[in-house]
Amino acid sequence: MASSSDLTSSAGNTPENPESGSATDLPEAPAGPVRRGRVRARRAAIMAVPAVAVAAGLAILTSEGALGVQFAISGMPFIVTATELDGRGFEQFGGMDNLDANNPNPGNTGGQVLVVTSVIKKATLTKLCQSVDLGGTNLVITAGDGKDKVQALGLTTDSTEMSGNAKFKNIEIGNDAGTLNKGGVQGPAGVFSQQSDRVWITELRQTNYATTAATFKLPGLHLSFSEKAC
């Protein structure tokens, strides 16, 4: 899930092609000093449950190719890392994510974030870590540390930064995003894109604004708050 400028240039340091493996209104704060980290962390935990339900419905449409990641984003970036990703049916193209018009924290984005959308039809990830800075603490999620790996179908991410060592099989660079056919999603017509039958990435690191998947299996899931991000 990385851009051509970041990943194709590192092909000389990429892993060997594996011979096998599946690529399948909070209460008012009390008077006195406010510990911002804990307040924000509590708020994030409360909001996480309805967010899962909304994302699930959108993920179905994503997997059917009806749309990319086009819901209104919060504008809070999160880090995703994995020691290895094996993906089958890879697509990538440029896009624009929009913040909700009522978002009280648009920052300096002007309400929009320029992103690279990456689509993988079937992905396997090893030692997945996701963290989001809540201000004073990080919400950290890990999974896939043991023999069972993280599995995702119809995985779509919107990223602003990414790095890693990558290797592609049967890559096509310069496609019109409206004609893509390997990942099950078509991008905006006339937009530069690339696609490949398969992609392997080690030491993957992304700064993302949105992620959806039709299914996301997280063996060994662990959620915690930490001073350290991924």
Tokens of 69: 């990641």
> How far apart are the C-alpha atoms of 23 and 20, rounded to whole Å?
9
Mean pLDDT of the chain: 78
Domain range holding 198?
Answer: 4-13+34-226
Q: What percent of the chain has pLDDT over 90?
A: 54
Q: Is residue 29 part of a domain?
A: no
Domain annotation covers residue 134: yes
Q: What is the pLDDT of residues 86-126, one digit of tens each?
A: 999 999 999 888 888 887 776 666 788 889 999 999 999 99
pTM for this model (two decimals): 0.70
Residue 116: count of CB within 10 angstroms of its CB? 23
- Asked whether residue 23 is domain-assigned, the answer is no
Length of the chain measured in residues: 230
Comparing 70 with 219, the larger pLDDT belongs to: 219
Number of domains in the chain: 1
The strand pair at 128-133 and 192-212 is best described as unpaired
